Structure 1
Amino acid sequence: MPRRVIAEALGTAILVATVVGSGIMADKLTDDVAVALLGNTLPTGAILVVLITILGPISGAHFNPAVTLVFSLRREIVASAALAYVAAQVAGGVAGTLLAHAMFELPILQFSATARTGTGQWIAEAVAAFGLVFTILAGLRFRSDAIPWLVGLYITAAYWFTASTSFANPAVAIARAFSNTFAGIRPADLPGFVLAELLGAVLALALASWMLSEPKPIQQPRPAE
């Protein structure tokens, strides 16, 4: 368990450091918002492939309380371990934000002023989390070896087709509230994002439980006595 919890904290820290750090770098290099978003997207998708590949065998590479919630509801992780995972993910995410600030010589402790709220943003986060969880569950059902690439590519795409740029992760959302940079989110907007993400994850679990269930064997009629 200690190794699993540390893997979750480390993975989430590196993920958030990549999200925040690449956002800072992109913002420094260009004034074009579209180009900056692309510079934020590609590193995020790429690091997810790396992190899931190397840490998945240790902890399952959740890095996301919504994912941990789903596996807890599937009874694949006990409640105490799930709580430890979530605590590690949130702590690791905040540490990743602070590390990104340190690398770029910015004030370490910040609070975002970037407003991200409204019905469109909440729907986008529910869709982003729904798609992420469904991708994971379908990958486990049909192509478990491809999950690192499936998740990395999904998030890369979701950055661009969701209005919220696909946070899809309560721990990442919380961590990004501590960064008044390109990737930030205003702390007051966190509740809407987190609730939408959890709702999307649970809806994905419900659909996957029905759609991806193992087919039942056909009962052959018993011969007459």
Structure 2
Amino acid sequence: MTDVDAPSAAPRPLAIRMLAEALGSAGLGATVIGSGIMATRLTDDVGVQLLINAVATAAALVVLIVVLGPVSGAHLNPVVTAALAVQRRVPAREILPTVLAQVLGFAAGAVLANLMYGGAAVSISTTVRAEPGLLLGEVVATAGLVAVILTLVARDQQAWVPAAVGLYIGSAYFVTSSTSFANPGITLGRILSDSFAGIAPESAPAFIAAQLVGAAVGVLVVRALLAPSARR
């Protein structure tokens, strides 16, 4: 979810980096949706279901960022890519291909999860998530995620990013009312699975808007309070 390349490492070709973003996003999408499906098959307790989903997602994030960070930065999230671009750590010309790779990866991950559990490749979610409190939760979740990543990057503490992101998302599952999607790409992917982690198409635009607002808040917080040295 952020650039963890060594400063002296030569950047990989764009096609390789986009492939890494697509594969990482597919892996994260399959984890979020697949663990949700598995959770509902293992127990009827919604709290335990959420715990299974959260632990699997947090663990997958750590692994994916460690493995793919040196290749593409392992953003795995359009708002992270955009926030890093605002901080001039990602060239503006790479935003669109990176986001496209992520969205395609999340869609593929959703299809993979559906098929692994014997469902149709695509099953449009019917889970409506429209309450104002959920949208506020998404603003908070995304702002916090972006602030964590940008602060560590600004302090040259990229080695902490995998653990910090995994721990943050794992805890935010239970802290925020929305269960911390905090990612427009995975939000679109969740539309394609009518399962525990799904979101109805009519709910997605408001969720994505909340995530964009949250990302902007995260950038502003880092600039104003957490990492003023990044502006020098």
Q: Same fold (TM over 0.5)?
A: yes
Q: Kindly indicate whether the alpha-carbon contact (under 8 Å) linking 2:77 and 2:183 is maintained by their aligned counterparts in 1.
A: yes
Distance between the aligned counterparts of 1:125 and 1:74, measured in 2? Answer: 22
Distance between the aligned counterparts of 2:26 and 2:93, measured in 1? Answer: 21
Residue of structure 2 equivalent to 1:189 = 203
Pairing 1:161-200 to 2, within 5 Å after superposition? 161-200=175-214
What's the secondary structure of 2:128's corresponding residue? Answer: coil
What's the secondary structure of 2:147's corresponding residue? Answer: helix
Q: Which amino acid aligns with 2:30?
A: A
Which sections of structure 1, spanning at least 5 residues, go unmatched? 218-225
- What is the percentage of aligned positions where both structures have the same residue? 45
Change in 2 beyond 3 A, CA 1:104/1:216:
closer
Distance between the aligned counterparts of 1:216 and 1:125, measured in 2? Answer: 27
RMSD between superposed Cα atoms in Å: 1.4
Change in 2 beyond 3 A, CA 1:144/1:176:
same
Q: Which amino acid aligns with 1:148?
A: P
Residue of structure 2 equivalent to 1:106 = 119
Pairing 1:60-209 to 2, within 5 Å after superposition? 60-142=73-155, 143-209=157-223
Q: Which moved more, 1:140-149 or 1:117-126?
A: 140-149
Q: Which amino acid aligns with 2:192?
A: F
Q: Which amino acid aligns with 2:211?
A: E
Q: Which amino acid aligns with 1:102?
A: L
Residue of structure 1 equivalent to 2:8 = none
Distance between the aligned counterparts of 2:158 and 2:193, measured in 1? Answer: 34
Q: Is residue 34 of structure 1 aligned with residue 47 of structure 2? A: yes
Residue of structure 2 equivalent to 1:222 = none
Residue of structure 1 equivalent to 2:4 = none
What's the secondary structure of 1:214's corresponding residue? Answer: helix
Shift of 1:79: 2.3
Change in 2 beyond 3 A, CA 1:180/1:213:
same
Q: Is residue 57 of structure 1 aligned with residue 70 of structure 2? A: yes
Q: Which amino acid aligns with 2:189?
A: A
Residue of structure 2 equivalent to 1:214 = 229
Q: Which amino acid aligns with 1:154?
A: Y
Distance between the aligned counterparts of 1:135 and 1:75, measured in 2? Answer: 17
CA displacement, residues 22-67 of structure 1 (integer Å, 9 cap, x when unaligned): 0000000100000111111101000000001010111111100111
Which sections of structure 2, spanning at least 5 residues, go unmatched? 1-13
Distance between the aligned counterparts of 1:184 and 1:207, measured in 2? Answer: 30
Q: Which amino acid aligns with 2:210?
A: A
Shift of 1:216: 9.5
Residue of structure 1 equivalent to 2:23 = 10
Q: Which amino acid aligns with 2:76?
A: F
Q: Which moved more, 1:85-94 or 1:135-144?
A: 135-144
Shift of 1:213: 1.9
- Larger radius of gyration, structure 1 or 2? 1
Distance between the aligned counterparts of 1:51 and 1:215, measured in 2? Answer: 26
Hey, which bits of structure 1, 4+ residues long, moved more than 4 A? Answer: none
Distance between the aligned counterparts of 2:223 and 2:231, measured in 1? Answer: 14
Aligned residues: 217
CA displacement, residues 111-131 of structure 1 (integer Å, 9 cap, x when unaligned): 000010121011000000001
Change in 2 beyond 3 A, CA 1:216/1:40:
closer
Q: Which amino acid aligns with 2:137?
A: A
Q: Which amino acid aligns with 1:4?
A: R
Change in 2 beyond 3 A, CA 1:32/1:71:
same
Q: Which moved more, 1:141-150 or 1:30-39?
A: 141-150
